[in-house]
Structure 1
Amino acid sequence: MKNSFVELNGRQRAFSLLDENSGREIVGPEFDFISPHLEPQNIVPESDDGVIVVKGKLNKKDAVIISIEGSFQGGGIGEVSGAKIVAALEKTLEDNKKGEKEYPIIILDTGGVRLQEANYGLLSISEIQNAVIALKKYVPVIGVVPGRVGSFGGMSITSAILSYLITTPKARIALNGPEVIEQEAGVREFDSSDKNLIWDTLGTRQRVKTGIADEVVTDDVAAIKEAISDAIMENKDAHRTEQADFYLSLIDKIDFTQPLDTKEYSNLFAANNPVEHEVQEAHASKQPKTKSRGRLWFEKLTGIENAESNYSTVLHAAKDGKEYIAIVPDEHNRFPRVREGEVGLQEGFLVAKVVNQIVAEDKDKQTKRPLVLVVDVPSQAYGYKEELIGIHISLASAAAAYAKARQSGHPVIAFIPGDAVSGGFLAHGLQSNRIIALTDDSITIQAMSKASAARITERTIAELEEATKHVPAMAYDIHNYEKLGALYKLVPDVSSWDANVEATQKIETIIDEAIASTKNQPTDLSFRYETPIAVESGRKATNEMRRIVFDQWKK
């Protein structure tokens, strides 16, 4: 196609959307700002790290185009590329706060986290989501998913947070790719070799029909530019992360033990009538529950024995002026893919309901309730039905709720006594402005299981483990995670399974200290790259990229 948008590379796409001769690139390839984490793994870096930021005019309006290059590392987000996106969004936010209207457009051609930089990718994506949510108070944040790679992983969660999502017929959108679902749940759950099934399920025609994307346009530069311009002019916003009751009502009607095809689901979606859902506060019971580190610590911190609610996997309770929230396993759950504590369709929407209600109740209060997230999430749910319905919207709803709470003045504190993995961590934990973790070798913090990461990066597990010796962000243990600088406190001498009276009191004291540390401090996520560890080494590239973007912004 002569004017195909899909066939352009990332840089060409960015400039093609802007009025002729109006574009100016920020931190372009001539600055050769490469990722410091790839060459130690014998991976050739890219001079722009796969992200292009261009300022210019779109139909005479000031615009910032952020374009992700899908041909470099599958469009994966690492430390440098993520920092470039976040810095550009923050400067756009700053301009809009001054009354200088500037419209951000993000071109998503991305597999999500760059697995070769794993935990840097998770941190960066959460920071991108935070900036998008702040910006949406001023201008619509428009997303374009052209094709080639599509929008997957953590960046699919970001796509659900954007105001409006424009796609072409050549694009796909999903949290978990078919290969990952096949690896984690088996070929009978999702056959990654069945291309027709993949496109029928994840292709944008189906996605627009069921509310996951907003518009499919012809693969033509002019058509995409017109669609973006219309979205800006009409201030379009799908409010995708504010539809918890709609999706919870929809899920109520589906039997997750039975087959569900796209036609049947589309009919259910079209006929759905939402009803109000309430997540009751946890209370004590006599019946023992499925054990987990998250449940153990939630019960000890709240004093509720065998805690239960009207939804078995989401617990919340008030204690000493704080609201504790946990996602826990239920071995008898009617959702087969979330029986071990994964964050699934229901969990994200329920958490959003809880948090949004707290924010609404405290709206006019001078002092906002602190939220304490007890984090023990082994991953997101891996399932065909989860992808068909749009699990990434569920996770986005939880992440957006936490971000809005923090931005409105609620201290959001994550306490990690268990695992914090992948989309589960993005939904429940990474929007916190302070993170506390136990020094326990059983804790895993990562973007993907070793088996799936090896498959996607085309390495053996042995090769993957060797790479973690050179890049701490790729490692799975809490000690290497500390080296990134994101933690407020790493607590020694307390075991994940030993929540005795002394240990509980110690954690309560640290949580109170973390809450106090947020007073009169920024309500963004800047703390995590301003800690001594982050400044000295953990986020050195992040801070340098931020400095250069800020320096070039107005020149």
Structure 2
Amino acid sequence: MNVLKVSFVELNARERIKSLLDEGTYRELLDPFEGFESPHLEKQNIVPQSDDGVVVAKGEINQEPAVVISIEGNFQGGAIGEVSGAKIAGALELALRDNKEGIPTRSVILYDTGGVRLQEANYGLLAIAEISSAIISLREYTSVVGVIPGKIGCFGGMSLTAGLCSSLIMTKEGRLTLNGPEVIEQEAGIEEFDSQDRRLIWNTIGGEQRHSLGFIDHLVDDDVESIKGIMIDPPKNSGPFRSEQVDLFHSRLQDIDLSKPLSSSDVQEVWNKEIGFNEFKEADENLDESRGRTWFTALTDHNRCDDVASVLCTDKRVGNERIRYIAVVPDSNNRFPRARNGELGLEEGWAIARYVREAMEQDEGGGRRAIVAIVDVPSQAYGYNEEFLGLHQAGAAAVDAYAKARQAGHPVITLIVGNAISGAFLTHGLQSNQILALNDKGVNVHVMSKQSAARITRRSIEELEEATKKNPAMAYDVQSFATLGALDDLMDGVDPQNPESQDIAKVEDRLIEAIIRARSGPFDLSNRLQSLEAKSNRMASIKVRARLAEQW
């Protein structure tokens, strides 16, 4: 007898959860009658939704306790703001608490999201960093399964969280990528990526392509029973998680021929080879200047890099502290042209992960050195090759490494000396115990360039700038970012471009103070919600978590 297939894609967020949980076990947390809606949208003449586009429900899957988080793509394109982000992070944090206390609680995330909600910009960035940290901790206890069914797909910073999941399920209709086609076209031109070419899109970031290159675990039909079948018999992780397979994925890039258009079949041949890394070497003199390079040089004695000249790394002792400094810098000879101006690209993400993991391995069982991320990143790289070869996964690997180092007791400190934009900042800087920044107009924090943000939100740049006056989370300046409570030190009186000895000494002193605070503080990101600024300007993030805990 033929069983009628039910489309998973066509279900809304609640229906998707109900279709996966055992019958009669669905219990929604923070349902619409709780009234948790974004406090930021109405100010921008946008009608909010009473669940803010995220449904969280507890129940059972195959008679085992589970929490399922479902993103509603029909509201704001599934974009993540303060309330929706807090619901996801808070639910995962509570599942982590359960598992630590011996209460097995499986976790499932149903993705249908465009990434950060631009109308809430830096709220979304902070939330996604917290979601990532929770997934990395939780998957050590239980399977964290991600499902990307279709309609919207999984884009932006949320693609990094997908790259961290224990297991990923995707339909052919799904899409998984860091940069959306429209953003690539805006930033790099239609010659780089035509956002109207549907065949190009699915051949680059669709389910079949992602499965062929190993970025997802299960390619399934758009059918409730097919997806539920995998949930009932969850995959057992017998080796390192995808975001921990740094040597494997990074080495594969070394043999990719970029002189011709990439295809899945060509790349698969390389993917099946085992290729060794080059030995570490001293970086050649490089004339590609940036604030990141300036401060790396000022704070360290020499540059060290492997085969990726755009990622600098060295160890230095400052007082009683051993510190590993890492910076992403421009490289005009970068073989990926879209990453030549200091953007964070494929090789940069994997190289950061490798440097951080190397420090963890060397310090295992002994004193754990501090790791300082010097941040001056204009964005992630916008390009066809980057998306085809899994930029989201390279970013997830760096996120994973920084978070693991922090959780293992390495003080991880971020020093923002220039731009800290979008997925690049999520990858390199937002997983730290402490965030420091120079107080200067050249220091900017945001989720996207103004041109792209205006296009995506269908506003003029003038309208966008006017909106930032009503919502500091949309502003680019570091003073506005400081009001959100995640910035631990905003340094005045430092020359950001031509630091002299007194500037260097001042920054080193503040770094040591931050390292001391990190060693005595929590190893998760909870301190970001405990500052006076957070209690004033991230009130919704705090209230959502408190109410979730009451209903859990």
TM-score (structure 1 length as normaliser)? 0.95
In structure 1, what is the Cα distance between the partners aligned to 2:87 and 2:43?
22
Contact 2:412/2:518 (8 A) holds in 1: no
Q: Paired residue for 2:324?
A: 323
Aligned length: 545
Q: How much has 1:136 moved relative to structure 2?
A: 1.1
| Letter aligned with residue 310 of structure 2 | T
Q: Which one of the candidate residues 111, 115, 122 is aligned to 1:112?
A: 115
Q: How much has 1:255 moved relative to structure 2?
A: 3.3
Q: Which one of the candidate residues 245, 248, 272 is aligned to 2:247?
A: 245
Identity fraction in percent: 51
In structure 2, what is the Cα distance between the partners aligned to 1:180 and 1:208?
24
In structure 2, what is the Cα distance between the partners aligned to 1:182 and 1:299?
35
In structure 2, what is the Cα distance between the partners aligned to 1:106 and 1:412?
28
In structure 2, what is the Cα distance between the partners aligned to 1:246 and 1:138?
24
| Letter aligned with residue 351 of structure 2 | L
Deviations 1:136-175 (A, max 9, x none): 1101100000111001111111111101000112111111
Structure 2 CA distance for partners of 1:278 and 1:107, relative to 1, 3 Å? farther
| Farther off after superposition, 307-316 or 442-451 | 307-316
| Farther off after superposition, 10-19 or 234-243 | 234-243
SS in structure 1 at match of 2:37? coil
Q: Paired residue for 1:543?
A: 542
In structure 1, what is the Cα distance between the partners aligned to 2:421 and 2:334?
20
SS in structure 1 at match of 2:129? helix
SS in structure 1 at match of 2:49? coil
Contact 2:83/2:544 (8 A) holds in 1: yes
SS in structure 1 at match of 2:418? coil
Q: How much has 1:235 moved relative to structure 2?
A: 4.5
Q: Does 1:209 align with 2:212?
A: yes
| Letter aligned with residue 400 of structure 2 | A
| Letter aligned with residue 267 of structure 2 | Y
SS in structure 2 at match of 1:115? coil
| Letter aligned with residue 275 of structure 2 | P
Q: How much has 1:527 moved relative to structure 2?
A: 1.3
Contact 1:163/1:236 (8 A) holds in 2: no
SS in structure 2 at match of 1:83? helix
Deviations 1:241-270 (A, max 9, x none): 12222222221122334322333223332x
In the TM superposition, what are the counterparts of 1:74-153 in structure 2 within 5 Å? 74-153=77-156
Q: Which runs of 5+ in 1 are unaligned?
A: none
Contact 1:279/1:354 (8 A) holds in 2: no
Q: Does 1:182 align with 2:185?
A: yes
Q: Which one of the candidate residues 259, 262, 277 is aligned to 1:260?
A: 262
Deviations 1:298-326 (A, max 9, x none): 1111133x776553111111111111111
Q: How much has 1:201 moved relative to structure 2?
A: 1.3
Contact 1:445/1:481 (8 A) holds in 2: yes
Q: Does 1:430 align with 2:427?
A: no
SS in structure 2 at match of 1:226? helix
Contact 1:249/1:272 (8 A) holds in 2: no
| Farther off after superposition, 518-527 or 430-439 | 518-527
Contact 2:409/2:519 (8 A) holds in 1: no
| Letter aligned with residue 57 of structure 1 | E
Q: Which runs of 5+ in 2 are unaligned?
A: none
Contact 1:163/1:238 (8 A) holds in 2: no
In structure 2, what is the Cα distance between the partners aligned to 1:243 and 1:137?
16
Q: Paired residue for 2:343?
A: 342
In the TM superposition, what are the counterparts of 1:270-281 in structure 2 within 5 Å? 271-276=272-277, 278-280=279-281
In structure 2, what is the Cα distance between the partners aligned to 1:419 and 1:279?
28
Contact 2:402/2:431 (8 A) holds in 1: yes
Q: Does 1:312 align with 2:314?
A: no
Q: Which one of the candidate residues 285, 291, 294 is aligned to 1:293?
A: 291
Q: How much has 1:334 moved relative to structure 2?
A: 1.9
| Letter aligned with residue 325 of structure 1 | I
Q: Which one of the candidate residues 198, 223, 227 is aligned to 1:224?
A: 227
In structure 2, what is the Cα distance between the partners aligned to 1:310 and 1:48?
47
In the TM superposition, what are the counterparts of 1:129-528 in structure 2 within 5 Å? 129-232=132-235, 234-235=236-237, 239-269=241-271, 271-276=272-277, 278-280=279-281, 287-304=285-302, 310-320=307-317, 321-365=322-366, 367-528=367-528
| Letter aligned with residue 349 of structure 2 | G
SS in structure 2 at match of 1:487? coil
Q: How much has 1:498 moved relative to structure 2?
A: 2.8
Structure 2 CA distance for partners of 1:238 and 1:76, relative to 1, 3 Å? farther
SS in structure 2 at match of 1:66? strand
Q: Paired residue for 1:62?
A: 65
| Letter aligned with residue 120 of structure 1 | Y
Q: How much has 1:111 moved relative to structure 2?
A: 0.7
SS in structure 1 at match of 2:487? coil
In structure 1, what is the Cα distance between the partners aligned to 2:50 and 2:240?
35
Structure 2 CA distance for partners of 1:444 and 1:258, relative to 1, 3 Å? farther
In structure 2, what is the Cα distance between the partners aligned to 1:419 and 1:488?
17
Q: Which one of the candidate residues 67, 71, 74 is aligned to 1:71?
A: 74
Q: How much has 1:288 moved relative to structure 2?
A: 4.6
Q: How much has 1:434 moved relative to structure 2?
A: 0.3
SS in structure 1 at match of 2:60? strand
SS in structure 2 at match of 1:376? strand
SS in structure 1 at match of 2:169? strand
Contact 2:195/2:201 (8 A) holds in 1: yes
Q: How much has 1:294 moved relative to structure 2?
A: 0.5
| Letter aligned with residue 98 of structure 1 | E
SS in structure 2 at match of 1:519? helix
SS in structure 2 at match of 1:507? helix
Q: Paired residue for 1:49?
A: 52
The alignment's C-alpha RMSD in Å is: 1.6
Deviations 1:46-100 (A, max 9, x none): 1011111100011101000011111111111111111111111111001101111
Structure 2 CA distance for partners of 1:469 and 1:274, relative to 1, 3 Å? same
| Farther off after superposition, 497-506 or 238-247 | 238-247
In structure 2, what is the Cα distance between the partners aligned to 1:237 and 1:110?
29
